[in-house]
């Protein structure tokens, strides 16, 4: 019943049939029902539930790092510069990408693999970014009336409640909560044309080949005949029409031709997704043939090394990594692969050094940061791990994985108050304020911290209890 409720709420709240014919101006009162602040809050709530409770969320820091670098490049070149965006992966083979309130943009792994160039992937992201910058979701809510906001609020409660249902896998969110939301979010024709127009402009401004956007949409349209009634999710949520593609091609004709090579990380991300967590005999044969065919291909050596690592064939993975290093192509993903291989062989100290050296070259890589902290812990160098995590938390205090690593280091050092405090911060970021308050209460009782630590725990406990009370009040009112 809870799962049917989710589907019904989504359909009622976001059904395209209730659109009006005209588009309001961005400052129009039609969007007042979902203010920018409310949109941000709604997006954060949905994103928090996806990140911490949805199995479809792709928990891969490397791929998320790449998507955010690509997305940030597009955002910086267009009208969204300065707006808060977050890009994340969804572990789903279907061809789909979707924008949620507050600039949260999800990309299915199937779409990344289907893109034949980085410009094609960038074209899809540029289109989704335009939905956000033009506040299409807010305008949809404004056109449908205030009841839509109530439905969206109820939806959040239903989504949270459904997580405890034993039948959740049979819900409308079967393919993941993110996919469930996007499957109901079908934009109007006017919104799609607007996102196409601005998406092409933004793609060109960011330095990509604008033909990538049209080529991807054309291929989807051509292949749709093979799907019959089971069209790719992206076509269902972003209806493709011949006039849309014709208009896109007409705009592109007036833009200068630009040939843009794919970045190495785009190719490595696709190789990593293709290898996955298990390697079939057929895929291994194909990767080995590619390695023999092109001994100078960074991607071929990377894919083969990762496939051997997944199969725990460490000697062969080492051989491929040596060949990969000899090509001298800089990439945080190659450094990450090296560290993973050393960890797989039980050399935590060696892995910590590789991650540390890699971070000197790629200081923005979250994957290398997490890798170094975890490797230091595995090597028994807990004080170094704690110092590293504490330093990083000063600039990124909302990084839940860092708080998790900090809790592990504090536990290893026997610091009970600090361990419970770190867990309290972790649960607060996840939105589990009840568990957070419990951990801060345990921290109060630990009594092994100094006066300043105790004062900080007391203060945070009061704040978390207030957030818990507000959360419970909102749930009762809904």
Helix axes 332-344, 348-361, angle to 10 degrees: 170
Residue spans of alpha helices (H) in 347-450: 348-361, 366-378, 382-395, 400-413, 416-429, 433-446
Helices 281-293 and 264-275: crossing angle, nearest 10°?
A: 150
Structure tokens at 118: 């980085």
| Structure token pair of residue 306 | 């990762």
List the one residue out of 294, 243, 297, 291 whose CA is nearest residue 267. 297
Percent of the chain with pLDDT over 90: 53
β-bridge partners, 105: 87, 99
Per-residue pLDDT, 3: 40
Q: Is residue 13 scored above 70 in pLDDT?
A: no
What is the pLDDT of the chain when averaged over all its residues?
Answer: 81
- pLDDT reported for residue 234: 62
Reported confidence tier of residue 2, pLDDT bands at 50, 70, 90: very low
Tell me if 443 sits within 8 A of 421, measured CB to CB. Answer: yes
* Interatomic CA distance for residues 312 and 343, integer angstroms: 11
The pLDDT, as a whole number, for residue 247 is 79
Q: Is 380 helix (H, G, I), strand (E, B) or coil?
A: coil
Query: Region 187-197: what's the mean pLDDT?
Result: 78
Q: Tell me the sheet residues that pair with 90.
A: 57, 108
Three-state SS sequence of 329-372? CCCHHHHHHHHHHHHHCCCHHHHHHHHHHHHHHCCCCHHHHHHH
Average pLDDT over every residue of 184-192: 65
What phi, psi does 302 have (nearest 5°)?
Answer: -65, -50
Kindly state the tokens that stand for 45.
């709530």
Q: Which contacts (CB < 8 Å, 24+ apart) does range 317-321 have? A: 317/341, 317/344, 320/291
The pLDDT tens digits for 408-467 are 999 999 999 999 999 999 999 998 999 999 999 999 999 898 999 999 999 999 999 999
The least confident of 136-150, 287-301, 375-389 is: 136-150
Look at residue 81 in the predicted model and tell me its pLDDT: 78
Q: Please indicate, yes or no, whether the overall pTM of this predicted structure exceeds 0.95.
A: no
Mean pLDDT of 121-150: 75
* pLDDT at position 33: 56
b/e 109-139 (16+ beta carbons within 10 angstroms → b): bbbbebbebbbbbbbbbbbbbbbbbbbbbbb
- The tokens 């504490």 sit on which residue? 390
Alpha carbons 357 and 369: distance in angstroms, whole number: 11
For residues 164-170, give the mean pLDDT. 39
Neighbours of 462 (CB within 10 A): 12
Whether 56 shows a pLDDT value over 90: the answer reads no
pLDDT tens for 364-396 read 999 999 999 999 999 999 999 999 999 999 999
CA 336 – CA 357 distance, rounded (Å): 11
Distance CA 26, CA 28 (A): 6
Give burial (CB, 10 Å; 0-12/13-18/19+) of 263: middle
Flag whether pLDDT at 204 surpasses 80: yes
Which pLDDT band holds residue 47 (cuts at 50, 70, 90)?
confident
Using CA atoms, how far residue 110 sits from 48, 125, 224, 270, 273, in Å, is 23, 14, 15, 10, 9
Confidence tier at 214 by pLDDT (50, 70, 90): confident
* pLDDT beyond 60 at 44: yes
Of 48-52, 167-171, 464-468, the range with the lowest mean pLDDT is: 167-171
Q: Which range in 76-80, 129-133, 273-277 is most confidently predicted, on average pLDDT?
A: 273-277
Q: Who wins on pLDDT, 23 or 80?
A: 80
Q: From start to end of 258-303, where are the E strands?
A: none
Separation CA 39–CA 129 (nearest Å):
15
Nearest to 429 by CA among 47, 2, 14: 47
CA angle, 262 then 266 then 270, to 5°:
125
The 10s digit of each residue's pLDDT in 59-88 is: 999 999 999 999 999 999 988 777 889 999
- Residue 154 pLDDT greater than 80, yes or no: no
- 163: pLDDT strictly greater than 50: no
Q: Could you tell me the two tokens for 423?
A: 């867990």
CA angle 321, 327, 331 (to 5 degrees): 75
């Amino acid at each position: 019943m809870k799962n049917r409720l989710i589907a019904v709420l989504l359909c009622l709240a976001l059904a395209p049939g209730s659109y009006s014919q005209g588009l309001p101006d961005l400052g129009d009162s039609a969007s007042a029902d979902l203010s920018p602040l409310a949109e941000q809050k709604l997006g954060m709530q949905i994103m928090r539930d996806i990140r911490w409770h949805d199995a479809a969320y792709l928990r891969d820091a490397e791929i998320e790092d790449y998507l955010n670098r690509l997305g940030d490049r597009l955002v910086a070149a267009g009208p969204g510069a300065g707006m808060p965006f977050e890009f994340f992966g969804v572990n789903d083979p279907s061809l789909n990408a979707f924008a949620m309130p507050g600039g949260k943009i999800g990309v299915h792994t199937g779409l990344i693999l289907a893109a034949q160039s980085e410009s094609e992937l960038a074209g899809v992201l540029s289109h989704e970014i335009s939905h956000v910058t033009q506040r299409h979701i807010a305008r949809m809510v404004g056109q449908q009336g205030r009841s839509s906001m109530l439905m969206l609020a109820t939806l959040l409660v239903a989504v949270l409640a459904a997580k405890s249902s034993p039948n959740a896998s049979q819900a409308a969110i079967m393919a993941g909560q993110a996919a469930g939301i996007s499957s109901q979010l079908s934009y109007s024709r006017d919104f799609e044309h607007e996102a196409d127009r601005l998406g092409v402009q933004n793609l060109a401004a960011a330095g990509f080949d604008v033909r990538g956007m049209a080529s991807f949409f054309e291929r989807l349209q051509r292949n749709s005949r093979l799907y019959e009634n089971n069209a790719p999710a992206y076509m269902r949520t972003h209806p493709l029409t011949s006039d849309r593609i014709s208009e896109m091609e007409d705009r592109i004709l007036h833009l200068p031709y630009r040939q843009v090579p794919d970045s190495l990380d785009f190719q490595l991300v696709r190789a990593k997704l293709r290898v996955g967590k298990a390697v079939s005999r057929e895929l291994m044969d194909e990767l080995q043939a590619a390695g023999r065919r092109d001994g100078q291909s960074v991607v071929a050596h990377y894919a083969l090394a990762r496939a051997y690592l997944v199969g725990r064939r460490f000697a062969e993975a080492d051989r491929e990594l040596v060949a990969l290093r000899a090509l001298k192509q800089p990439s945080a993903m190659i450094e990450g692969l090296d560290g993973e291989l050393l960890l797989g062989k039980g050399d935590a100290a060696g892995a910590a050094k590789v991650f540390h050296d890699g971070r000197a070259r790629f200081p923005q890589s979250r994957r290398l940061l997490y890798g170094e902290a975890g490797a230091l812990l595995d090597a028994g160098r807990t004080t170094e791990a704690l110092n590293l995590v504490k330093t990083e938390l000063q600039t990124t205090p909302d990084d839940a994985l860092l708080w998790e690593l900090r809790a592990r280091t504090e536990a290893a050092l026997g610091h009970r108050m600090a361990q419970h405090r770190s867990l309290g911060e972790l649960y607060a970021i996840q939105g589990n304020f009840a568990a957070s308050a419990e951990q801060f209460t345990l921290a109060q009782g630990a009594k092994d911290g100094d006066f300043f630590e105790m004062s900080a725990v007391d203060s945070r406990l009061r704040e978390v209890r207030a957030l818990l009370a507000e959360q419970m009040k909102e749930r009762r009112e809904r």
